[in-house]
Amino acid sequence: MKEIEKTLNMINDIKQIAQNHPQAMFYYFLVRAIRANRVIEFGKSFGISTIYLALALRDNWGGQLIGTEIHKEKAKKVILDIETAGLSKYVDIRMGNPIETLKDISGPVDFLLNDGFPPSALPVLKLVAPYIRPGGVVVSDNVDPSKADHREYIDYLRKPENGFQSARLELNKRVEFSIKVSAYEPSIN
């Protein structure tokens, strides 16, 4: 933990880190626990989760985080923070429309943090889902089932035929936690 604190102290935006620390640590522990090697992150905001995810990959002895951000200024700030923290070799930040920037992912994905613009969340999930390995994790942040742009997204994750098991977590009251399971298998009665 001291190594994480040392790395975080290199970043200027300590206030944002402190506000997001518990949830970001949850992501860190998840990535470590599933021994993730490939992480996809849609949406950067302040880049706090990006740093924690990159730290987890570093502590897992390597891997790649592919992050996408449509706002160039946010992406540039995250890239600078990642460089400052010495984590660049684990992170590939792509600027632009996530549907375009994530088209060329290949190989298995172990963890998807879906935290971007709500109307793009489902198209991003559908684009990445075929690459998520069985046992892979999808964490969807700031998901509110009472909002129309999230309802279809949550319904997709909770339909067994789409290959996920999913439930809401009470982290910030708007986190959907999903695990990719093998192909849909109807229950035998």
Confirm whether 113 is domain-assigned.
Answer: no
Number of domains in the chain: 1
pLDDT at res. 150: 82
Distance CA 78, CA 57 (A): 17
Spatial CA neighbour of 78 closest among 89, 99, 92: 92
Spatial CA neighbour of 170 closest among 143, 135, 133: 143
pLDDT at res. 28: 92
Q: In the numeric block, which tokens belong to residue 155?
A: 């319904």
Residue 144, judged by CB atoms within 10 A of its CB (0-12, 13-18, 19+), counts as middle
- Whole-number Cα distances in Å, 68 to 94, 102, 118, 148: 5, 8, 14, 24
pLDDT digits (tens, 9 = 90+) for 54-70: 999 999 999 999 999 98
Confirm whether 92 is domain-assigned.
Answer: yes
Mean pLDDT, range 1-28, rounded to an integer:
64
Is pLDDT of 164 > 90? Answer: yes
Q: In the numeric block, which tokens belong to residue 81?
A: 């923070």
Confirm whether 63 is domain-assigned.
Answer: yes
Q: Which domain holds residue 54?
A: 1-100+124-131
What is the pTM (predicted TM-score) of this model?
0.85
More confident residue, 173 or 165: 165
Confirm whether 58 is domain-assigned.
Answer: yes
Contact 105, 131 (CB under 8 A): yes
Confirm whether 150 is domain-assigned.
Answer: no
CATH of the domain at 73: 3.40.50.150
Binned at pLDDT 50, 70 and 90, residue 169 comes out as: confident
Distance CA 144, CA 150 (A): 6
Confirm whether 5 is domain-assigned.
Answer: yes
Binned at pLDDT 50, 70 and 90, residue 168 comes out as: confident
Confirm whether 35 is domain-assigned.
Answer: yes
Contact 42, 70 (CB under 8 A): no
pLDDT digits (tens, 9 = 90+) for 96-129: 999 999 999 888 999 999 988 888 999 999 999 9
Confirm whether 59 is domain-assigned.
Answer: yes
